[in-house]
Structure 1
């Protein structure tokens, strides 16, 4: 999670890169309950991307 001391604004690109890196490191797919939540969010992101095509 973001620390409360991290108040510097991040570009959208940096946020995406950081979140992707953290997702890979956490290996959510090894934790079924967390993975179900992540999958729901991923599907929403994919739907947003399809809307832009």
Structure 2
């Protein structure tokens, strides 16, 4: 079970990754420019 508070979304390439498994950098483009996904941010919200 992954915890949503560990998820990051890369602001450079848009990759969503788990901060615990990626050591804080994006596994796709290897930058650490990210936003934290929160339940009230609208990211991943199914109601559009």
Tell me the TM-score range normalised by the shorter chain. under 0.3
Higher relative contact order (CA 8 A, sep 6+): 2
Q: Which one has the bigger helix percentage?
A: 1
Larger Rg: 1
Q: Which one has the bigger strand percentage?
A: 2
Give the TM-score of the pair, scaled to structure 2.
0.25
